[in-house]
C-alpha cells in the first residue's frame, strides 16, 4: 500500500479499549433516570462528543415519558462511573506497534477524538506511547465548530498538519467517526467493534474504504 501524507486516529475503541466502559457508564446513568438503553442505541452514542450524547440521552428520556434531567444532573451520574471504569482501559491490538512504525517512517499523525482534554489526559496517562501523536483535535477544541459525524474534526486535523484531507488515512471504529472521515474526503480505514448490529455494520461498511480486523492487520513499507 502507498504511504499516506498523514494518518488520523480516533482514540476510543480504536487505540484504547474504552467503548465497553463508556457504554456501561451511559447505560447506568440513563437507568438512574428511568431509561433502559438497548445495544443499538448505545452504539449510536459511539464516537460522538459528550455534549452531543447528553442531548441524545435526554431526548430519549423525554420520549420515554420520564422526567428529563439537566445536562449537569445526567453528567453528575455518568462521569464518576466512566472515570472509574476507564482507568483500566487496555490498548487495542496492534495500536502501539502501528504508531511506532509510523513514527519510524516519519509519517505525520494526529489524534482526532470526540473526547475532551481532561478525559483524553486521563485515558492517555497510563499509556506513554500515545505521546507519539503530538497533534490533537479534541472534542472541546476551541477551533472546532461541529463534532463527528460532521467532517470538521478531520478537516481541522489535516489543516494543522498542512496536508490535503484526500491524502490522509483516517482510522475509526464508530459509525459517527467513519462518516466524519468520509465526509472530509479521507481514505477511511475502519476497525469494527465486536457484536455490532447488522444494520450498523452495514452502515460502517458503506462508509469505509478498507475494513480491518485490527490495527495489527495494516502493513506498511
Distance, in Å, from the CA atom of 1 to the CA atom of 33, rounded to the nearest integer, reads: 49
Judge whether 173 counts as a catalytic residue. Answer: no
> What's the burial of 158, exposed, middle or buried (CB within 10 Å: 0-12/13-18/19+)?
buried
Given the residues 12, 141, 152, 173, select the one marked as catalytic: 12
**Active-site residue, 10 included:** yes
Q: In the structure grid, which three cell numbers stand for residue 32, read together? A: 438512574
- Catalytic pick among 10, 52, 152, 173: 10
Distance CA 133, CA 210 (A): 22
Give catalytic residue positions.
10, 12
Amino acid at each position: 500500500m502507498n504511504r499516506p501524507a498523514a494518518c488520523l486516529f480516533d482514540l476510543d475503541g480504536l487505540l484504547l479499549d474504552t467503548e465497553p466502559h463508556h457504554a456501561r457508564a451511559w447505560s447506568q446513568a440513563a437507568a438512574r433516570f428511568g431509561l433502559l438503553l438497548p445495544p443499538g442505541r448505545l452504539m449510536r452514542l459511539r464516537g460522538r462528543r459528550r455534549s452531543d450524547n447528553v442531548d441524545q440521552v435526554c431526548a430519549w428520556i423525554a420520549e420515554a415519558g420520564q422526567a428529563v434531567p439537566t445536562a449537569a444532573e445526567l453528567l453528575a451520574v455518568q462521569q464518576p462511573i466512566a472515570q472509574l471504569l476507564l482507568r483500566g482501559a487496555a490498548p487495542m491490538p496492534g495500536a502501539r506497534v502501528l504508531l511506532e512504525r509510523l513514527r519510524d517512517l516519519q509519517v505525520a499523525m494526529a489524534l482526532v477524538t470526540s473526547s475532551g482534554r481532561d478525559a483524553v489526559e486521563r485515558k492517555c496517562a497510563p499509556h506513554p506511547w500515545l505521546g507519539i501523536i503530538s497533534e490533537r483535535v479534541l472534542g472541546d477544541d476551541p477551533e472546532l465548530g461541529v463534532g463527528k459525524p460532521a467532517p470538521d474534526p478531520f478537516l481541522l486535523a489535516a489543516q494543522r498538519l498542512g496536508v490535503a484531507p484526500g491524502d490522509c488515512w483516517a482510522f475509526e471504529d464508530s459509525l459517527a467517526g467513519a462518516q466524519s472521515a468520509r465526509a472530509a474526503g479521507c481514505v477511511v480505514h475502519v476497525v469494527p467493534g465486536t457484536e455490532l448490529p447488522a444494520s450498523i455494520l452495514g452502515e460502517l461498511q458503506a462508509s469505509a474504504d478498507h475494513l480491518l480486523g485490527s490495527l495489527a492487520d495494516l502493513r506498511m513499507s
